[in-house]
Chain A
Amino acid sequence: MRGITKRFGDLVANDDIHLTVEPGEIHALLGENGAGKSTLMNVLYGLLQPDEGEILVDDKPVKIKGPSDAIRIGIGMVHQHFMLVPVFTVAENVMLGAEPNKAGFLDHATADRLVREVSQKYGLPLEPDAIIEDLPIGIQQRVEIVKALTRDVDLLILDEPTAVLTPQETDELLSVMRGLKESGKSIVFITHKLREVKAVADQITVVRRGKIVGTAAPTAPESELAEMMVGRSVILEVPKQAAQPGAPVLAVRGLVVADDRLHRAVDGVDLEVRAGEVLGIAGVQGNGQTELVESIMGLRPSLAGTVTFLGRDITDWSTREVLRSGVGYIPEDRSVDGLVKEFSVAENLVLDLYRSEPFGGRFALNPKAIDESAKGRVEEFDIRVQSEQQPVGALSGGNQQKVIVAREMSRPLKLFIAAQPTRGVDVGSIEFIHRRIIAERDVGSAVLVVSSELDEVVALADRIAVMYRGRILAIVPPGTPREKLGLLMAGITSEGAS
């Protein structure tokens, strides 16, 4: 790729990017969320058209107008959000777009055979007749890879493939990638996880803010790579004193909660969060963390068990009552549950308190008080805005998240619950939010942090609870080896060998 530039309005997502991938190499594209890695690969796959620059395959310039062009010249892509039709079978998904036909009708037998052949050849076992939505995430990803391989690709783009996998599934994927390399395929591996890059890549290109900031060999130390990614030394650990836990603030006993499909998502959880400590919940997404937090917050009814807050039974209280009694809450999906995107920053900052003085009077809101308080909080929480009247949806992810943190931390709190507090947030904001969470702990609040980023849980927590299939498998100290945490997240407990 030569001189690729892609703009979205004023934002330059890719700025004059040169990238060369050699045959048979695993080329890691390393960078933070929003650095422009996915944009670049979408350009390569024909989903986006570059504003400037050209793409060369075997030194010959090619025009990629759409995915079908990309497929024809041997480029395949596994997207971060899987491009599989959930109600179709594995074979139907694999053949889609290149369906074998017999006398005008779909030839399912040939499609099944193709799936079996490819999956055997590359060691990716699959059942052609299985329905996608019944398969675990790791297997769905396998379907995506097989789908690309049946199209005889020479270059496979993997966009953040490990984001949704357990540590064990990740290891499996990495060895699959090595196998593909052996058989002569080139791979572009997009990620922001240094450990994986070092484990598998032959060549590393680091992207920051739409530009290539350098290349590195996999032998380069992690700290150097991290520095290239973010442009300065990051503090990988959150500075904090030892916790001084006090009395229990939140106690959950035997809680059972159903998910939307009426399965037991939370299956008898017991946990306790004490004043002045951070309890981190680690686990692969979809193991009941969402439902657990929503149930505590009164957003989802419980089927059994109790939630006690400061000695009072708050099971199935309404969300307003829970918030009023001194709980702060960062929901896991800020755009859906945390903010009203069309509202201004100032309005979003008082979503919780608009009913009470000084923001809400007897009949009408008090815009003056709302704006004044917004100015103060924008300053205090370092929210980068052009004006407090700007719609919140126009802010970057990190600043949106800071609006939520500012709102939730402006009430007197006894308990702070943060679900995925830094998802899709830039490093600067992550650091800020982490500091605020620890500060909240240090003034004596109980803090419950749920995150699918193991690094985040380890950095923040004073105790780590690992959640798997709706249960807390173990509660361990943050110094526990990552390997053991990884096994717990995959549901494997080591009994006896403490």
Chain B
Amino acid sequence: MTSAVITPELALPASFWTRERKTGAVLVALGLVASVWFTLASPSSPATFYLGTSTQSGANFEIDGKIGCLVFGLIALAAGAILLATGKHYGLLVSISLAAFVLSALIWQVSTVHGSVPLGSLSTITMEASLPLIFGALAGVMCERSGVVNVAIEGQLLTGAFFAALFGTIAGSYWAALGAAAIGGALISLILAWLAIRFLVDQVVIGIVLNTFALGLTGFFYEQVMRTDTEAYNNPGGLPHWTIPGLSKIPIVGPAIFSGTLLTYVALALVVVLTIALFRTRWGLRTRAVGEHPAAADTVGIKVLGLRYVNVLVAGLIAGFGGAYFSMVTATSFTKNITGGLGFIALAAMIFGRWNPVGAFLAAVFFGFAKALSSLLQALQSPIPSEFLAMLPYIATIFAVAGLVGRVRAPAADGKPYVKG
């Protein structure tokens, strides 16, 4: 007797045009645009980059516009070409190529207006713009890893922002403001959890309803209460910046990370804590099990519904806390629809980050950078119309989620209610 073992192999004769190669081709095209168009359009005047936060402080370097555009354009081209030729090292080559393309574009714009770029400020703005996205995306990760879809991030952020302004003003303390913000987010979560887990309502629909609900309710109270006496109800004050001596002087990234408000430090800590909790603790293992195969968790005695309630509520606390950013960091008061849809960008960041805390963080920073870049170019009075620049973060979102992510795998039971039996 002989045993005939036939190994199944990949069915499709590997077509030349894999996803990697297609992306490579697009990057080559971008590189060509940069090294030809940008170089020709750019004047031979210098673009100046400062490492610190202002044009006066810190070291700086200058680069000739034409040369800079050409050099970085060629780097973008080369990285794209390598990807096109080999189809390997996808993540690395895409990052290099896109970064070089962005730099080339930046140098072109900066040298055109004879301007200068404080890199320290750029990174600070990036970090600040990322903050609500980090909190929102982490809230999404918490929720969805346990199998409950969280489309209500926007509503959680908005309610958090509103509670922070209202109760922070009344109590006169930013600690109270932050606590109230977290509770505000958790209230939205409570409705989400209750309807989704207890009554098995479609989770995407509840999420959208809750967002509308939060928008309407906070808008109503803003008009009826806050506007009547701004001093008494809508004057929470800004969160103080805590600068860590020494570390905040690190070129480029120092001011962004070590001179932020409490929210900056909490956001960074949460990324680390959640990563460890999710992948190294009993709670994390059970959360992931419940999100992937709730029946399996149930049969080993894990309380599926209880765990989902807890996770959804904690997600609300996180998002609500982050909501304080809107009324206490970028502004010092609440206004109607102050979140302006960033909760949905946070949702995109969670998907782009593949339901992973670190991934979600990087995705949030990516969107934050797009935002920072657009405001920098507007400040430099770049010839590109400001309306187009304002679109940049959203265009980046679409490209990132649609183009670069490809097929990602959500937790298998995400959005599916669990019914025993």
Q: A residues bordering B, Cβ < 8 Å?
A: 42, 45, 47-48, 66-68, 71, 77, 79, 81-88, 92-93, 95-99, 101, 104-106, 147, 256-259, 262-265, 267, 303, 468-471, 473, 487, 491-495, 497
Contacts and interface: CB of A to CB of B under 8 A. Distances in A.
A98 B300 contact: yes
Contact of B297 (A86, A96, A471): A96
Nearest to B12: A262
A85 B298 CA distance: 12
A114 B213 CA distance: 51
B63 interface: no
Contact of B286 (A42, A96, A258): A96
Interface string B293-336: 10111111110000000000000000000000000000000000
Given A258-B11, A258-B12, A267-B8, A491 B296 contact: no
Contacts of A47: 298-299, 420-421
A111 to B, nearest CB: 10
Contacts of B420: 47
Nearest to A490: B3
Contacts of A106: 280-282, 284-285
B10 interface: yes
**In the complex, the 10 A-B pairs of residues with the closest C-beta atoms, listed nearest first:** A68-B301, A97-B300, A258-B11, A83-B296, A264-B11, A83-B299, A99-B282, A85-B293, A469-B6, A85-B292
B5 interface: yes
B379 interface: no
B387 interface: no
B301 A85 contact: no
A77 B298 CA distance: 12
B289 interface: yes
Nearest to B9: A264
B288 interface: yes
Interface in B394-421: 412, 420-421
B299 A492 contact: no
B8 A263 contact: yes
Nearest to A288: B8
B8 to A, nearest CB: 5
B12 A491 contact: no
Contact of A104 (B8, B12, B281, B293): B281
A342 B297 CA distance: 31
Nearest to A303: B11
A296 to B, nearest CB: 17
Contacts of A303: 11-12
Given A97-B302, A104-B281, A492-B1, A470 B8 contact: yes
A257 B8 CA distance: 12
Interface of B: 1-6, 8-12, 276, 280-282, 284-286, 288-289, 292-293, 295-302, 412, 420-421
6 contacts: A47-B420, A86-B293, A96-B297, A106-B280, A258-B12, A492-B4
Contacts of B296: 82-85, 93, 96
A493 B4 contact: yes
A492 B8 contact: no
Nearest to A84: B296
Contacts of A82: 296
A145 B192 CA distance: 38
A352 to B, nearest CB: 31
Contacts of A93: 296
Contacts of A92: 285
Nearest to B5: A491
A262 B8 CA distance: 10
A97 B301 contact: yes
B299 A79 contact: yes
A469 B3 CA distance: 13
A147 B1 CA distance: 35
B412 to A, nearest CB: 7
B325 to A, nearest CB: 30
A105 B278 CA distance: 10
B11 A492 contact: no
Contacts of B295: 81, 83
Contacts of A101: 282
A329 B256 CA distance: 65
Given A101-B282, A473-B4, A256 B11 contact: yes
- The listed residue with most A CB atoms (<10 A of its CB), out of B1, B3, B286, B301, is B301
Given A42-B421, A106-B285, A267-B8, A87 B292 contact: yes
Contacts of A258: 11-12
A101 B281 CA distance: 8
B293 A48 contact: no
A106 B282 CA distance: 6
Contacts of B10: 262-264
Given A47-B421, A67-B298, A99-B282, 7 more contacts: A47-B299, A67-B300, A86-B292, A99-B285, A106-B280, A471-B6, A495-B1
Contact of A96 (B12, B276, B285, B421): B285
Contacts of B288: 85, 88
Contacts of A104: 281
A79 B296 CA distance: 10
Given A71-B300, A105-B280, A469 B8 contact: yes
Contacts of A86: 292-293, 412
Given A84-B293, A258-B12, A96 B302 contact: yes
A263 B9 contact: yes
Given A105-B280, A258-B11, A96 B289 contact: yes
